[in-house]
Chains A and B, each alone.
Chain A
Amino acid sequence: MEKPFAITLQVESSLANHTGSWRVERPQYVNLMPPCNNACPAGENVQKWLYTAEDGSYEEAWRALIVENPFPAIMGRVCYHPCQTVCSRGQLDEAVGINSVERFLGDLAIEKGWSIPVTAPSTGFKVLIIGAGPTGLSAAYHLRRMGHAVTIRDAADVAGGMMRFGIPKYRLPRNILNAEIARIEDMGVRFQLNHKVDNVQDAIDDGFDAVFLAVGAQIGKRAYIPAGEAARILDAVNVLHDVADGEAPLLGRKVVVYGGGNTAIDVARTAKRLGADEAMIVYRRTREKAPANDTEIQEAIEEGVLMKWLSTVKHADAGVLKIERMELDDKGFPQPTGEFEDLEADSLVLALGQEVDLSLVNNLPDVEVRDGVVHVDPNMMTGRAGIFAGGDMVPAERTVTTGVGHGKKAARNIDAWLRKEKFEKEPIPRVVEYSDLNPWYYTDAPHAVRPRLEGVRRASNFDEVVQGLDESTALYEARRCMSCGNCFECDNCFGVCPDNAVIKLGPGKGFEFNLDYCKGCGICVSECPSGSIIMIPEKS
């Protein structure tokens, strides 16, 4: 075609005009810290495994999950999911049911028999872990994946620690617990059960290069309560332990549990299942101030557990307790009122917290003990080189998830120490705030509530109370994730650029900016749903 000069132009000849030179700011893709990940005591990359699960790649999602935490099926039942408390979606409609998806993935892994191959070459180092609870098992798992030879010793005849002896099976069925522990055993971790370690020094002398102490807090805290001889006072830890062992402690018709933590709730709910007509929580502060997880409290109430807030037990006698009513002062502390009442009770179970048996470090003078727990440095190492400690043994929140997180952290530090290196945690990116997001793009989608056993029915047996999600609801739930601070390939940037200056690299590969043409208008930043693009000043 003979094109007339100047008036007729070749198509797309404007590509010669690099409008990027207009720019004073440029967009940049970032990966920020999602609130869920930031809140997870086990350091899970929640956003990543939800993202992976969204397209039905469950095994891949599960494998992404277990990079940080070997117990998705357990977590999906017992974790108090602080991730959901901070979930950004909670500000839009309702938090993503992260915990339920985790359980779905964990259960699916058990069902499918997915195993965890140890691919790291053997390091030749031997590590002893004392305590087969969540902390110790987690440490063992991570150390094993790194190629170390790992031995776990535990005084009990079965592994699991407080996951087995402190958590009733209506919350954590034993087949689940056993399956996830067995998977760790299958990785080549050596379990030495019925093996109480009284002296850590002896263990070191057995030829271990490092030791991790994770014996847990298994001793019920004592509180002095004036009591008559005939009063039946039990310890919560022992009650739960007995039940776990298949014994039924004699609690009577009316049971009072003293305390406001999760253990107290567990005992009260267990008492109902053991046949008590009445189980009552007595706690000196309010429901809002109680350390127990509110979901647990709600479930207990639904099951008929009675709650007596702002009350202390002043005296215990056979069949009767003297209770003093408390009131909160200006600072929120409970203060006695001098008002008393009697309460019928066949037994009083004390659930006032637990303590750690620290006798095993008695003869290690380098290991410093403060306030009933072991003092460790930021790398979780005690005063004695090569001896590390974690979980309930060190100052921390005493939950399974925290223990799992400690296990991972300890493993990484032990690994580094063995290699004569220092473990450097990657810097944490900025945590995403709700204002970083563009919630317009998230279709309203309420939380998929997991089916629960109906209250009355469940209180009478030890069947699992909370049921799992089926695949469609798990998928739905995973897809409610807003992927805070991380690109999830919604194509918005690719679409909204008036200058066609975003290059789509293809599925799973994300996007790049074509800075030859990007004028720096910032629409991509404004319209990014997940806040994964920022503007940075152009270097002049």
Chain B
Amino acid sequence: MSTTPVKFYQVGSFAVGNRLLPAAAGSVQSDMERTNALTSGHRACQGCGEALGARYAMDAAMRAANDKVIAVNATGCLEVFSTPYPESSWRIAWLHSLFGNAPAVATGVAAALRAKGRTEVRVIGQGGDGATVDIGFGPLSGMFERNDDVLYICYDNEAYMNTGVQRSGATPAAARTATTQAVGPEPGNVFGQGKNVPRIAMAHEIPYVATATVADLRDLEAKVARAMEFRGARYLHVLVPCPLGWGSQSCDTVKIARLATQSGLFPVFEAERGEVVSSTPIRQRVMVEEYLKLQGRYSHLFSPKRRDDVIDRLQAAADRNIKRYNLMPEEAGDL
């Protein structure tokens, strides 16, 4: 990571703020004057990870761009809960067009800004996993390939939540959704090959690709800031738990995101021009079960009959990430 994390004995390396820290070294979210790009009164569910992630990312982008940001939003929860007529929760210039075209619309915004010589204004495209991994994937790839000057942020809650929790290309194996029901001999989503958009983005060799979660704010903010240092196409994939879709408690949103990283199921890393340049080590490793058992979408793995076969496959996926992204560098020799 480009910034050296501030080490605090008490807290601060991981908490949002620290009163002992000089304001300039504080997180964006600890700043009383933060943008609040997505402000109060929006209609997201209680404990919405996407609402949190969007504000984190957009506030960080606003700081990095001296408040010169235009956001383009795909259709989805974030769009619906933020801008139902007659109320908008955005405090930034914002455009929503369609479900599948946010990267292309963002390209258009960037093209217009370049044509007008207003390149100090930065463009961010954003959408959920459906908009990014599935329906908007073509435009996303096109935007990457042309290296358009857009930071695209995917808020990944691993299913189509806005339409009522249907499976997307980002839905993990074994997870229950409305279209991958927890019935039959192989309940939940299939064990497919997955669709790892961060890696696909890396294959485009765009300047910057990173993953983050709402559990590690400073990491997320550092990545947004780093992304904004580049021109060209950049991609940030943020895991945002969804209490409604995941069947978790609203108070556990951050905790579940943390367990996703600490289990290794969601590797947090960054890549520049197609090469992984850093990964965030696991601090307190947990087995995937710790992560799974807090979520109703995996409850069929624990009752009425415990499915160790499935849990083991998920654990194997986590173990593979740990090895692949060197998430436990101190134990790398043992793996």
A residues near B (Cβ < 8 Å) are 6-7, 9-19, 22, 54-55, 440-443, 445, 476, 479-483, 488-492, 494-501, 504, 506-508, 514, 516-517, 519-523, 525-527, 529, 535
B149 to chain A, nearest CB (A): 24
A276 to chain B, nearest CB (A): 43
**CB–CB B253/A516 < 8 A:** no
**Selected interface stretch from B13-21, B198-206, B306-314:** B13-21
Chain B residues near A494 (CB-CB < 8 A): 16-17, 29-30
**CB–CB A13/B88 < 8 A:** yes
Q: Contacting B42 at CB < 8 Å: which of A14, A55, A481?
A: A14
A272 to chain B, nearest CB (A): 37
Interface residue? B32 (CB, 8 A): yes
| Bound CA span A10–B26, Å | 30
Chain A residues near B44 (CB-CB < 8 A): 498-499
| 14 further interface pairs, Cβ-Cβ under 8 Å (given A15-B41, A491-B15) | A11-B90, A14-B87, A16-B41, A54-B10, A441-B14, A445-B10, A479-B20, A494-B17, A495-B15, A495-B16, A516-B40, A522-B47, A525-B251, A529-B15
Interface centre among A514, A516, A527 (most CB of B within 10 A): A527
Chain A residues near B49 (CB-CB < 8 A): 498
**CB–CB A443/B12 < 8 A:** yes
**CB–CB A12/B39 < 8 A:** yes
* Chain B, range 237-253, C-beta contacts under 8 Å to A: 243, 249-253
Chain A residues near B20 (CB-CB < 8 A): 54-55, 479
Q: Contacting B27 at CB < 8 Å: which of A14, A495, A504?
A: A495
**CB–CB B91/A521 < 8 A:** no
Specify the main secondary structure of chain B where it touches its partner.
Answer: loop
Chain A residues near B250 (CB-CB < 8 A): 521-523
**CB–CB B9/A480 < 8 A:** yes
| Bound CA span A446–B111, Å | 54
Which 7 A-B pairs have CB atoms at the shortest separation, nearest pair first? A491-B17, A495-B16, A522-B251, A14-B41, A521-B47, A517-B40, A495-B29
**Selected interface stretch from B78-86, B99-107, B176-184:** B78-86
Q: Contacting B9 at CB < 8 Å: which of A476, A499, A516, A525?
A: A476
Interface residue? B51 (CB, 8 A): yes
**CB–CB A489/B91 < 8 A:** no
B168 to chain A, nearest CB (A): 21
Interface residue? B48 (CB, 8 A): yes
Measured as residues with beta carbon below 8 angstroms from the partner, the interface class of chain B is 35 or more
**CB–CB B41/A523 < 8 A:** no
**CB–CB A500/B16 < 8 A:** no
* Chain B, range 127-186, C-beta contacts under 8 Å to A: none
Interface residue? B89 (CB, 8 A): yes
A230 to chain B, nearest CB (A): 59
Chain B residues near A489 (CB-CB < 8 A): 17-19
* Chain B, range 1-47, C-beta contacts under 8 Å to A: 7-20, 26-27, 29-30, 32, 36, 38-44, 46-47
Chain B residues near A55 (CB-CB < 8 A): 19-20
B136 to chain A, nearest CB (A): 21
Chain B residues near A6 (CB-CB < 8 A): 85-86
14 contacts between A and B (CB under 8 A): A7-B85, A9-B83, A55-B20, A440-B14, A442-B10, A443-B7, A443-B8, A492-B15, A494-B30, A496-B16, A498-B44, A501-B40, A523-B250, A523-B254
| Bound CA span A35–B56, Å | 35
A490-B18, A521-B251 given; A442·B40 CB < 8 A: no
**CB–CB B15/A445 < 8 A:** no
Q: Which residue of B lies closest to A54 (CB)?
A: B20
Interface residue? B255 (CB, 8 A): yes
Interface centre among A482, A491, A506 (most CB of B within 10 A): A491
* Chain B, range 213-257, C-beta contacts under 8 Å to A: 217, 243, 249-255
Interface residue? B55 (CB, 8 A): yes
A495-B17, A526-B254 given; A11·B91 CB < 8 A: yes
Chain A residues near B9 (CB-CB < 8 A): 443, 445, 476, 479-480
Chain A residues near B16 (CB-CB < 8 A): 490-492, 494-496
**CB–CB B91/A12 < 8 A:** yes
| Bound CA span A6–B86, Å | 6
Interface residue? B297 (CB, 8 A): no
**CB–CB B251/A496 < 8 A:** no
Q: Which residue of B lies closest to A445 (CB)?
A: B9
| Bound CA span A491–B18, Å | 7
| Bound CA span A19–B227, Å | 33
**CB–CB A490/B15 < 8 A:** yes
Interface residue? B52 (CB, 8 A): yes
B268 to chain A, nearest CB (A): 15
Q: Which residue of B lies closest to A24 (CB)?
A: B46
**CB–CB A491/B83 < 8 A:** no
A214 to chain B, nearest CB (A): 38
A10-B88, A14-B82 given; A19·B11 CB < 8 A: no
| Bound CA span A251–B54, Å | 77
Chain A residues near B10 (CB-CB < 8 A): 54, 442-443, 445, 479-483, 488
A437 to chain B, nearest CB (A): 11
Q: Which residue of B lies closest to A504 (CB)?
A: B32
Interface residue? B122 (CB, 8 A): no
| Bound CA span A516–B7, Å | 36
Q: Which residue of A lies closest to B9 (CB)?
A: A445
| Bound CA span A443–B284, Å | 12
